[in-house]
Structure 1
Amino acid sequence: MTDQRPGGTITIAGKTVSRLGFGTMRLTGPGTWGHPADQTAALRLLRTCSGLGINHIDAADAYGPHTVEELIRWALHPYDEDLLLATKVGMIRPAPNIWSPLGRPDYLRAAVEASLRRLSVERIDLCYLHRVDPSVPLVDQIAVLAAMQEEGKIAAIGLSKFTPAQITEAATIAPIAAVQNVLNIDEPDDSAERFCARQGIPYIPYRPLNAGRHGTSAGKALRWLLALGEHMAPIPGTSNPDHLLSLVSAVTR
């Protein structure tokens, strides 16, 4: 691990990590489905993160589905002690490009147990509810994650694509370690970001480069996000190691 962490550092779920993390959704096949065309390259890219000072890796059981969690285990296990390994549950994948929230407590419990096995860990550092299932009371969805936290299977709970009102409701059940919503220069307004800033909750912008639409201005887009406050920790994704290096260089120079 290099001494200088990309973008500086932030404490998330009790770990001090680089403010620039790595999102793994692109390490799959087309439609976020199946394995990448070059699996060896994907494994190499995951291992490259540590050498670049990135020790916040963000995944989800829905990426593949299951593909990315398996790649992370193959590439990085046994894990560095200072690595923050985050994953998400609560989304099912009927087909490529199709995503559907499923928040039944029995399903969420089974999904966490499956992620524990795929990642080969006894406890998930940071487990997000990937989406709110509108057909299930939110308190029931958070309660099962809180129960698994008490059991020692989840260290910290995060929320993905939540409003301030939903964050507030969830926080009545369990402490919230991070919130992950869309935020980028093209989509620059999220009331949850301002809420997290006021509450001191780490905010993890996903799609920080708007799915690659920023091209050569990617560094500017990341610096804009980081400048919004110390609570910001973007997780750009790429399948290209040269692109990853350029992103790191853009926020450390």
Structure 2
Amino acid sequence: MATANRTEPLADASRPGGQAQLAGHTVSRIGYGAMQLRRLDRAAAIALLRAAADLGVGHVDTAYFYGDGSVNEAIGAAFRPQDDVLVVSKVGAEPDPVGPAPVRLAQRPEQLRDAVEDNLRSLGREQIPLVNLRRADHGPGLRPEGDQIVALDDQIAVMTALRDEGKIGAIGLSSVSPDILRRALPAGIACVQNAYSLVSRDDEDMAQLCLAEGIAWVPYFPLGGAYPGLPKVTDEPAVIAAARALRATPAQIGLAWLLHHTPHTLLIPGTADTAHLRANIDAGAITLDAATLAALDAVPSRTGDIELG
């Protein structure tokens, strides 16, 4: 595995994991994924978000379909302008309270526009700094059928229009292949979110393409094991051994490996627990030496493009 692009996290105690650029903003490399806030009541969700800001988290990843707007409403109530927290949302799916999964795809251009409006309203904002277009043609998860099979050009057109109107600040992509990213590059892409972890590195080419193009790489499922039967980073003997040697948790080692792997990687681990939040943030202070990195790099990637409903 190539390691020439590795760098140590920038030393900045106020920015967990160091700092990086995201949609033209300087943020901490460790952010927060808000999906699990839907498990909490409003007061508890706001308290956890305030704790994240106080600990230096500089970007939060959300979506209207997280709790049918309730997570966004907590975010809107929790953060003040002086907190300097970049809010990132996504479109391409919508709540599905009666289906087999909590969400269904919403890929058509008019659905993308409606989703941006839903996000603006629930967040209480006039602009969302960065919105990711969640496609469904790559990685684990839903696959489009019927009228949900939509051409990329049609989707990029409406996202560009929304940016021109000032409703979004920048465009990102999620669950896409390198070919889709290359086709979208002329529109200006700020970040890519794909499933990726130490035990699931099929998207290494995508990570390197983003690095070459100056695009933030924001892997979701950073510890693997998102679905039953998929491998978990925390089960790997090399990860457990590194955790023991460094007096860290296996989860912290998995997150630290991602930060060391490439300098444009930003993390959005999620949790509904303040202690777990602090542990995730503390992963940014872990230094992995060459021997430890070599042992972790040798862990095999064992998942392919798994299609799960």
TM-score normalised by the chain length of structure 2: 0.74
Identity of aligned residues (%): 41
Q: Which amino acid aligns with 1:202?
A: A
Cα 1:114–1:93 shift into 2, 3 Å? closer
Equivalent residue in structure 1 for 2:196, among 171, 183, 200: 183
TM superposition outliers: structure 1 runs of 4+ over 4 Å: none
Cα 1:17–1:211 shift into 2, 3 Å? farther
**How many Å separate the matches in 2 of 1:91 and 1:176?**
20
Map 1:1-253 → 2, pairs under 5 A = 3-29=13-39, 36=40, 38-76=41-79, 78-80=80-82, 82-95=84-97, 97-132=101-136, 135-172=149-186, 174-190=187-203, 191-210=205-224, 214=234, 216-253=249-286
For the pair shown, the structure with the greater C-alpha radius of gyration is 2
Equivalent residues of 2:73, 2:124 under 8 A apart: no
Name stretches of at least 5 consecutive residues in structure 2 with no aligned partner: 1-11, 137-143, 227-231, 236-248, 287-309
**How many Å separate the matches in 2 of 1:101 and 1:141?**
13
Name the count of aligned residue pairs: 243
Equivalent residues of 2:48, 2:274 under 8 A apart: yes
Deviations 1:178-199, CA, capped at 9 Å, x for gaps? 0011111221231321211222
Name stretches of at least 5 consecutive residues in structure 1 with no aligned partner: 30-35
Equivalent residues of 1:207, 1:235 under 8 A apart: no
Equivalent residues of 1:208, 1:221 under 8 A apart: yes
Question: Post-superposition shift, 1:43?
Answer: 1.2
Higher helix share: 2
Q: Which amino acid aligns with 1:123?
A: Q
Partner of 2:242: none
Q: Which amino acid aligns with 1:181?
A: N
**How many Å separate the matches in 2 of 1:3 and 1:194?**
27
Cα RMSD between the aligned structures? 1.9
Q: Which amino acid aligns with 1:248?
A: I
TM-score normalised by the chain length of structure 1: 0.89
Q: Which amino acid aligns with 1:200?
A: G
Equivalent residues of 2:53, 2:83 under 8 A apart: no
Partner of 1:32: none
